[in-house]
Structure 1
Amino acid sequence: MFHKEGTQSILLGSIFTAVVLLLSDYLIDQYWLKIGVQIATLLLLIIILQFFRNPKRNVISDENIILAPVDGKVVVIEEVFEGEYFKDKRLQISIFMSPINVHVTRYGLSGLVKFSKYHPGKFLVAWHPKASEENERTTIVIENETFGEVLYRQIAGALARRIVNYAQEGMQVIQGTDAGFIKFGSRVDIFLPLGTTINVSLNDKAVGGKTVIATKL
């Protein structure tokens, strides 16, 4: 199963592969060169397909937990000052996605979208300390009865050149469903109320829509 954001890329990649395979038979006489070109083209198509994969994950919604919004490695767990929306201290969890991770963003909790804003910006490497404030990014705040307001931020990386965000203010969203897509290496920061129980550790591998990153007891 592939994400709808990859439809154009997959179509163009498939056409390109078919053309190269067809023309290489007629235009390249040297056997090993022809095979090399064909293998490289097929590998490129495989990379495109794996990047846009969208594995189905059945989620049973639970108001007392927050699920990882993306696949990747937990790279930050700390108390920070969140200056865009809350303007106070929050618990931050950051998940870094490499180019080989699934890049679908999922809603980590159900609730009402209170805030959704796109920020143009730089393309620093996603793990850079200033990436959260200076890179291209989107900020989304969801409110639910258990946790109150929770903010998550999609952050473009050095290679990412497009962030897709489906959240719009006033929407009711459901935990685990499709919230958007980020192309290539990138990061998602989650800002939680102080006192929230964190269920992951640094360097843990998170699975979007599956891994419980926080609970409210």
Structure 2
Amino acid sequence: MAGELMDNRGRGEAAWTWPSIHPEGRKFGLIAVAVSLVFLLLLDWEIVGWPLLMLSAGVFAFFRDPERVVPQGDSLIVAPADGLVTLISEVLPPVELQHDDVLSGRGLGTEPVTRVSIFMSVFDVHINRAPMGGTIKRLIYIPGKFLNADLDKASEENERQHILIETGNGSPIGFTQIAGLVARRIVPCVKTGDMVAAGQRVGLIRFGSRVDVYLPKGTESKVLLGQKVIAGETVIAETGKQALLEGVTQ
């Protein structure tokens, strides 16, 4: 199915398949399986072995990497992470992404923009994806604390990695991977200068965390506070579009 064109008129073929496991998770899962088999087969400690075996299944599930059908459109911004929209607010972009640079091009500017924050629980897929296509112009890692990623101040105090993409029309879009209370490592799979497509995998954060997206000036969120989004599939905004959307929990 990878690379196949699908549309809203039935073109393409879709069927459920087992998701693949990200390479980062295979080693952890295999180690957990090996340890559980030692307790089950060699030591005959079933009270320890069976829980470890179930934990192994949980490790593989955490690192699952399903395929996604990415909506196509130069103005569309897709969710970079699976999870719950916990914050939508007007904020200044991170200092590291604000200013123009001779080498890395245009920054996000020094005026407030809309930030959409997506919180990933340990049950969500943790593969992060590019919100728009373009060239990776900045990839800035910043050590920090491991506060609850749900807190607003986590954007400025937690371990994080800023990514700035220059889109096809030359405008920039930025997003930030933020480590959380349990997450202890941000793992990128892209580097500065790489060209990425919208929805392409750019990395992962291990064990619960958050991703912030800084929408271009004049662009409002198309998702609601409390909404669940899917990385690479949910359209969270369309550049240049502003409209108040309301939702009701039920």
Query: TM-score, structure 2 length as denominator?
Result: 0.79
The aligned residue for residue 92 of structure 2 is: 81
The aligned residue for residue 179 of structure 2 is: 156
User: In structure 1, what residue type is equivalent to 2:73?
Assistant: D
Q: CA deviation at 1:80?
A: 0.7
User: In structure 2, what residue type is equivalent to 1:160?
Assistant: A
The aligned residue for residue 18 of structure 1 is: 37
Structure showing greater relative contact order (alpha-carbon pairs closer than 8 Å, 6 or more residues apart) = 1
For residues 4-52 of structure 1, the C-alpha deviation after alignment (integer angstroms, 9 at most, x for no partner) is 1112212211211221211343xx5xxxxx3x33331222111111111
The aligned residue for residue 9 of structure 1 is: 28
The aligned residue for residue 213 of structure 1 is: 236
> What SS does the aligned partner of 2:21 have?
coil
1:93/1:191 contact within 8 Å kept: yes
How many residues were matched structurally?
209
Which 5+ residue runs of structure 1 have no aligned equivalent?
29-33
> Structure 1 residue 195 and structure 2 residue 218: aligned?
yes
2:36/2:50 contact within 8 Å kept: no
**Which among 94, 107, 115 is matched to residue 138 of structure 2?**
115
Which 5+ residue runs of structure 2 have no aligned equivalent?
1-19, 99-109, 242-250
For residues 110-146 of structure 1, the C-alpha deviation after alignment (integer angstroms, 9 at most, x for no partner) is 0011111100111011012211111110000011145
The aligned residue for residue 52 of structure 1 is: 63
Q: Which has the higher helix share?
A: 1
**2: distance between equivalents of 1:119 and 1:184?**
18
For residues 40-90 of structure 1, the C-alpha deviation after alignment (integer angstroms, 9 at most, x for no partner) is 122211111111111111325321201101100001111111241223311
Query: TM-score, structure 1 length as denominator?
Result: 0.90
For residues 134-171 of structure 1, the C-alpha deviation after alignment (integer angstroms, 9 at most, x for no partner) is 11100000111458211100000011110012232221
> Structure 1 residue 141 and structure 2 residue 141: aligned?
no
After the TM superposition, list the runs of 4 or more consecutive aligned residues in structure 1 that deviate by more than 4 angstroms.
Answer: none
